[in-house]
DNA sequence: ATCCAGCTATAACATAGGTGATCAAGGATA
DNA sequence: TATCCTTGATCACCTATGTTATAGCTGGAT
């Protein structure tokens, strides 16, 4: 189905990997393959962390809830995304991971993972880069929720997802598959679905987006970025030089 | 001044460290010592990451800004806190770190740090635990900003800070030093200073807090936690058994 | 071809929290 | 003691976003 694992694709945005590295990634990710249906929970709060999850195909998200049912999506996972490097160190998971679409994941055990990191320092470093980017995204979400208006917030999320999808080759020109419902967007932006709907109308009126039938088109990305006060430095894709000290 | 480095104190909440481990921490942290005044920037957006910063004494925070000046504090640093494990992998810092009070930090270079990790696997693991907790806190802040009301949000922040201070021995009974201004609280909770003021009044009226002259007292922590819908699982302090597999 | 559940759209109304302005109180500095 | 500056307190008014309700779509299941 796919020639290259989306993880490998993603990591190569940071550093070049050898054939040997790539083969090791393929091996490890092929091992714990698993299919999960749409709108299912993959991990539940309170679980004992056993595996590192790698999203191979499909969309998922991490979410947290309050006792009265309020719920916040705290991050989205798209192909190539690793959930929680080193997480087996913790005793208990403090959040949930749910799927949006049908999803193919690889469950990677602690031992396999540690072996991979010991035998492939280049991969190890790339994984830490990946982890740092994930945390940086989490911080940007904090800024998003704390300071941006509804209009800016939604624009920002759309920009971010588009750029992340682009990085793993999941866009076609100025459009992409986009399976999130307005309720998902609301839970991710801390707004209500009603207000998300209003705001999407507004974005459409301004010709910043076309969104229907699970397809998002952004005719003028620069304009949407402006509306979002989007600064892509937090995605750390501008990495020339960052890997110069890795031994080739 | 202090017998044990607050970092060592903090890490021992996760695992027991040997005398040798402790000595290594002392050595590394003593090396790059530096004093910074109150309300100064320690790190600026765009800087090239050179050091890992360890807060030895004082309070600081990480913040991000928007072009029009809006600003969000995305995390607080108290003694024993490490800023960004492995951060030297990135090309450019995407946020700022500013001090609240006069602060003593240790700048730890990449080489020293990597040597520490190679020679002390127990410390390495504790550092990853620390990093996972930091990220978990960031996620909880996302929930906080996205879903909690002003009243819950401020209560939550006060609970979190109190518990974190307690973990490094910086509380006295039910009270602690608390140098944040109402503007700081506003920037951290995504509210305005005016509304923070209103909400603090409300908390005082409900006898949940006493706060003046940079001193916070929480007469009934359980009650404040209730008001905050506070669930401390994200701090991962409940760790019995978590380190059983470390070789003693 | 029909049905149904989960989406999307819209409207009328309510409110939490924002704005901008002013003043008082508490520490530093001199 | 006087001055300055930061912080905290309050007030009157405003608006972005939430609430509740209803109805119309749409696409997959049967």
SS3 per residue for B193-216: HHHHHHHHHHHHHCCCCEEECCEE
Q: Where are the beta strands (DSSP E) in B66-218?
A: 71-77, 82-83, 96-99, 103-109, 171-172, 175-177, 210-212, 215-217
The DSSP code for B77 is E
Q: Minimal CA–CA distance to A223: which of A159, A170, A163, A150?
A: A159
Is residue B102 pLDDT above 80, yes or no? yes
pLDDT at A247 over 90: no
Note whether A13 contacts B: Cβ–Cβ < 8 A.
Answer: no
Q: Is A95 in CB contact (< 8 Å) with chain B? A: yes
pLDDT at A248: 35
- What's the DSSP call for residue B54? E
Task: Please give the pLDDT value at position A241.
Answer: 42
CB B75 within 8 A of CB B138: yes
The tokens for A104 are: 């193919």
Q: Is the pLDDT of residue B246 over 60?
A: no
Q: pLDDT at position B89, please?
A: 94
User: Using the beta-carbon criterion (under 8 Å), do B234 and A62 form an inter-chain contact?
Assistant: no
pLDDT tens digits for range A175-186: 999 999 999 999
Q: How far apart are CA B224 and CA B207, in angstroms?
A: 9
b/e for B24-37, b at 16 or more Cβ within 10 A?
bbeebbeebeeebe
Q: Does B183 touch chain A (CB under 8 A)?
A: no
Tokens of A209: 């987006």
B49 DSSP 8-state letter: P
pLDDT of residue A3: 57
Instruction: Give residue A4's pLDDT band: very low, low, confident or very high (50, 70, 90).
Output: confident
Predicted confidence band at A239 (pLDDT cuts at 50, 70, 90)?
low
Neighbours of A222 (CB within 10 A): 9
Q: What is the pLDDT of residue B243?
A: 42
User: Scanning the structure block, which residue is given the tokens 């030895």?
Assistant: B56
Asked if B236 reaches chain A (Cβ–Cβ under 8 Å), the answer is yes
Whether any strand C atom is under 7 angstroms from the Cβ of A145: the reply reads no
Alpha-carbon span A196 to A154, nearest angstrom: 8
Distance CA A97, CA A116 (A): 24
Output the pLDDT for position A136. 98
Q: In DSSP terms, which residues pair with A106 in a beta bridge?
A: A33, A54
Q: Note the pLDDT of residue A76.
A: 98
- Any strand C atom closer than 7 Å to B150 CB: yes
**pTM of the model as a whole:** 0.95
Other residues' Cβ atoms within 10 Å of the Cβ of residue B62: 22
Q: How far apart are CA B152 and CA A69, in angstroms?
A: 15
Answer whether residue A168 shows pLDDT above 50: yes
Which residues from B are below 8 Å from A232, CB to CB? none
Average pLDDT, chain A: 93
Residue B61 pLDDT level (bands cut at 50, 70, 90): very high
Looking at chain A, list the stretches that DSSP marks H as alpha helix, in order from N- to C-terminal side. 6-11, 19-31, 110-119, 121-147, 150-167, 182-189, 193-205, 221-228
Residue the block writes with tokens 């995304």: A81
User: Is A212 in CB contact (< 8 Å) with chain B?
Assistant: no
pLDDT at A223 over 80: yes
**Which residues have CB under 8 Å from B86's CB, separation 6+?**
A128, A131, A132
The per-residue pLDDT for B148 is: 98
Confidence category of residue B239, pLDDT binned at 50, 70, 90? low
pLDDT at A240: 54
Per-residue pLDDT averaged across A13-18, rounded? 93
Residue A47: closest CA among B134, B233, B244, B14: B233
Q: How far apart are the C-alpha atoms of B73 and B83, rounded to whole Å?
A: 14
Give the mutation candidate from B91, B136, B192 for the A interface (greatest A CB count, under 10 A): B91
Q: Which of B159, B131, B146, B144 is nearest to B216 (CA)?
A: B159
Evaluate whether B227 touches B123 at the Cβ level (below 8 Å).
no
Transcribe A9-56 into DSSP letters.
Answer: HHHTTTS---HHHHHHHHHHHHHTEEEE-TT-EEE-TTPPP-EEEEEE
State the nearest Cα–Cα gap between A1 and chain B, in angstroms.
33
pLDDT of residue B31: 85
pLDDT at B193 over 60: yes
**Residue B241 pLDDT > 90:** no
Cα A192 from Cα A182, distance rounded (Å):
9
Q: What is the pLDDT of residues B23-38, one digit of tens each?
A: 999 999 888 889 999 9
Residue from the list B91, B138, B242 with its beta carbon closest to the beta carbon of A242: B91
- Of A26-40, A132-146, A204-218, B182-196, the poorest mean pLDDT is in A26-40
Separation between the CA of B198 and the C1’ of C20 (whole angstroms): 16
Q: Tell me the CA distances in angstroms from B188 to A173, A207, B157, B197, B201, one per residue in order.
A: 38, 34, 9, 14, 18
Q: Judge whether residue B149 contacts strand C, using its CB and a 7 Å cut-off.
A: yes
Q: How many CA atoms lie within 13 A of B200 on its CB side?
A: 21
Q: How confident is the model over A202-217, as a mean pLDDT?
A: 97
B-chain residues near A46 (CB < 8 A): 233
Other Cβ atoms less than 10 A from the Cβ of A197: the count is 15
pLDDT at A82 over 50: yes
CB contact (8 A) between residue A234 and residue B142: no
Residue B247 confidence (pLDDT) above 90? no
C-alpha torsion angle, residues A98, A188, A154, B91 (rounded to 10)? -80
Residues of chain A numbered 107-136 and touching chain B (CB < 8 Å) = 125, 128-129, 131-132, 134-136
Task: Determine the average pLDDT of the residues in A23-27.
Answer: 95
pLDDT for A1 beyond 50: no
What is the rounded CA–CA span in Å between residue A211 and residue A182? 11
pLDDT tens-digit series, residues B79-90: 999 998 999 999
A146 or B246, higher pLDDT: A146
């Amino acid at each position: 189905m796919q020639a290259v694992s989306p993880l490998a694709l993603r990591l190569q945005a940071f550093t070049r990997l050898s054939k040997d590295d790539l083969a090791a990634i393929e091996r490890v990710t092929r091992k714990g393959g698993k299919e999960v249906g749409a709108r299912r929970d993959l991990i539940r709060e309170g679980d004992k962390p056993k595996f590192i999850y790698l999203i191979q195909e499909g969309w998922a998200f991490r979410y947290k809830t309050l006792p009265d049912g309020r719920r916040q999506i705290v991050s989205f996972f798209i192909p190539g995304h690793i959930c929680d490097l080193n997480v087996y160190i913790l005793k208990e998971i403090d959040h949930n991971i749910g799927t949006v679409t049908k999803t193919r994941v690889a469950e990677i055990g602690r031992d396999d993972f540690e072996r991979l990191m010991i035998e492939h320092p280049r991969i190890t470093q790339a994984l830490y880069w990946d982890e740092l980017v994930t945390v940086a995204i989490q911080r940007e979400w904090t800024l998003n929720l704390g300071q941006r208006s509804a209009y800016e917030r939604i624009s920002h999320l759309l920009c971010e997802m588009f750029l992340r999808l682009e990085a793993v080759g999941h866009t076609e020109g100025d459009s992409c598959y986009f399976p999130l419902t307005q309720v998902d967007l609301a839970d991710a932006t801390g707004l209500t679905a009603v207000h998300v709907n209003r705001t999407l109308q507004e974005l459409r009126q301004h010709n910043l987006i076309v969104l229907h039938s699970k397809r998002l088109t952004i005719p003028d990305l620069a304009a949407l970025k402006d509306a979002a006060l989007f600064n892509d430095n937090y995605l750390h894709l501008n990495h020339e030089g960052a890997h110069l000290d890795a031994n080739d």
